[in-house]
Structure formats: structure tokens, C-alpha cells
Structure 1
Amino acid sequence: MLAVWFPPRSELRRPSDRYETATRWAALVVLVLITPLLAACGGARTQQVRDDAAAVRATAHQVEATVIGVSSASSTTADGQPSYDLSVTVRWIEPVGALTAPQVAGGVGPRIGDPWPLWVAPDLTPVAPPATERDAEIQGAVTSIGVLIGAGVALAAAVALVRRMLDRQRMRQWDEDWLAFRRRRNRGAAG
């Protein structure tokens, strides 16, 4: 592995070999230089999730609803598979009176009378709950890792493309050298 980054010095090394080594080093330097960008992308995503959660907390409020009905929702997923989700109807108390809203639950369903945490918008419609701090950090980390993988793939593809071009040049040069060798060999003893 070390020979890939530090090839041995040799008189037989062609200029194309040096270009290939330089390309690998350049890709490594670029990958190191974009590390702050990766951190910035992850930090920006984390902050965006935090801001979205703060907006939900500022406009909506949490209520403790009670499950008043559970039924199986017969539907199919986007790929045509049957869905085993349950349709849950919940009720909660607001200053304007009791409100009821349908919810969808996946997996093991609740029973009638179970508590159901719910976030409600100012217009008294259910909204998605705000993300937690851990959710924000996970999304930031996933964004950073995604950008790192994308940059790594792009740099690896660039190095592979340069190597392919240099290999084609090496093969043309090899063919020319071989042809010159054959011509010298066919001249005979007198040359």
C-alpha cells in the first residue's frame, strides 16, 4: 500500500508514472482540504433541523390525547405491497372543547384508552413532532458522511480517469518503442 503513495525512484520511471503519482497526491490533498467543508455542511444541517424544531415548538403545542378508536387501514405501499398500518382515532381537550383527529400508526397498535402524545398547530390540526437534539446531530453527521463519500467517489473517479488516459498514452508509447525495436532488428548485421 505504501508503494502506491511513495513509488521507488527508478530510471525506468516514465513521466506518465510521475503524473499518476502527482494525481494521487493531489486527490489526497483535496480530500484533506475539504474536511472543513464537510464539517460546515454537517453543522449547517444540524442547525437547520434545530431551527425547524424550534419553529414547531414556537407555533405548536403538545397535548396528551387518548386513543378512542383503532381499525386496520387497508392500503398498499408505493411498491404495491399490502400495508399493515393501523388507523388510530384520538381525542384531546382544548380550551375550545374536545377535538378528534385520525392518526396512522405502524407496527403494534395501541389499545383504546392508551395515551397518545400529539403536537397540535394553532389551527388545532395535528403536526409532526419537533426533532430532538439527538435527531439534529444524527442528521448533521449523516450529511457530513454523505458529502465525504460523495467527494471520495468523485476524487477516486477523477484519479481513475487520469490513470486510464495515462495508460492509453503508455500503450501508444510502448507500441511505438516496440515498432522502433523491430525496425532496428530487421536491418541485419550491417545495420
Structure 2
Amino acid sequence: MLRFLARELHSWRLMHASSNRLVRPLDRLETTVLLALCVSALAGLLAALTVGGNTYAAHKAAAEVQGPRHSVSATVITTPKQDDSPTIVAWRRPDGARLTAAVDSERQDRVGRVRLIWLDDEQRVADPPVTHTDAVVEGVMAGLGVVMLTAMGWWGLVLLVRAAADRHRMRRWEAEWLELDIDSHR
């Protein structure tokens, strides 16, 4: 890790921006490209903040407009015949009436298993309520996803630029050594 860091710090020496004639044009170009990549990585971080904030706002708005919901314990009475078929569950209302409904199947569904389901005010099966915590987690995860994509893209492009520049430098060195070797045998 320290070796990589030392190499990257070496690439940012100020001599690449100076008028020193010993600095190759390729080194100046490499420094310019790496600097542009760093600026674009900062733009990616701003995009991550924007995506995370927008995701949080959308989930928070969905949590505020959803209707009231309550949970009930329902017993599985039939399991699905196929993977995409619903599971039939039954539960009792507070007045004692028995209700049944089709819900999404889960792997653990067996006849007699008790599941937690969510109902709206009309006693229809509904999705679980979205909470403020869900909105925060979704916003953070969306932002972290963009940060990870930005970091991986930046790292890959930096390695690509460095590898191409190193390959070009090695070819130049090899040619210069061959030229020096030929001149030394005369």
C-alpha cells in the first residue's frame, strides 16, 4: 500500500508543471490526464450526494403519503404449486370473522406456518409501511453505490493511464539503451 501511495505521490511532483526540459511531454500529458480524472472524481462525489439526497426525498415522500397499515399474524393454509404462484393465508378479524387472501410466496412457506402480513384500513393485504429509517438507509445505499462506481472507475482509469505511460516510457528507454549500446561498440 505504501509503495502504491509513494508512486502516486511521485507522479504529482510539481516539476511536471515547470519549464524543466528534462520532463518528457508524456509526463506532462500524464499529469494533466490524472488531474482531470481527480476533478471528475470530485464531480462523481457530488453526483453521489445528489443521487442519495433524491432517493431519500423520494422514499420519505412515499412514507408520508402512504395510508395507515397494521400487521396481523396469518396462518398459511395452502402453499404454492409453482414458484410464481401466491400463498393463501388466513387470519381472524377482531370481531372473529375469518378472512383469507393471496400473498407473495416465501421459501419457508409450509401449511400451518404463521406469517406476518400488513393490512390497510379496508382489510386488504398491503406492502409493509415505508419508515423514515428505510428512507435514510435507501438514500445512503444509493449514494454509496454511486461513490463505489466512481471510485472503481477512477481507479481503473488511473491504472490504465499509468500502465500506458509506463509502457511508452519503457519502450523509449529500451530504444535509448539500444542506441547507447550500438554507439559503444564502434
TM-score normalised over the length of structure 1: 0.67
**CA deviations over 1:112-133 (Å, ceiling 9, x no partner):** 9x895523386x5312122110
* TM alignment of 1:158-177, pairs within 5 A: 158-177=157-176
> How much is the aligned-residue C-alpha RMSD, in angstroms?
3.8
The question of whether the paired residues in 2 share the 8 Å contact of 1:44 and 1:140 is answered with yes
SS at match of 1:34: helix
Which one-letter code corresponds to 2:138 in the other structure?
A: Q
Identity within the alignment, %: 22
Answering whether residue 110 of structure 2 is matched by residue 100 of structure 1, we say: no
SS at match of 2:130: coil
- Tell me how far 1:3 sits from its aligned partner: 5.1
**CA deviations over 1:39-82 (Å, ceiling 9, x no partner):** 1100111112223333432xxx4245453x3458477879xxxx
Answering whether residue 136 of structure 2 is matched by residue 137 of structure 1, we say: yes
Structure 1 residue runs without a partner (length 5+): 79-85
More strand by share: 1
SS at match of 2:62: helix
Stretch deviating more after TM superposition (141-150 or 25-34): 25-34
- Separation (CA, whole Å) in 1 of partners of 2:138 and 2:178: 59
- Separation (CA, whole Å) in 2 of partners of 1:171 and 1:148: 34
Answering whether residue 59 of structure 2 is matched by residue 49 of structure 1, we say: yes
User: 11, 20, 33: which one pairs with 2:30?
Assistant: 20
SS at match of 1:51: helix
Aligned to 1:83: none
Structure 2 residue runs without a partner (length 5+): none
More helix by share: 2
TM-score normalised over the length of structure 2: 0.68
User: 4, 23, 31: which one pairs with 2:8?
Assistant: 4
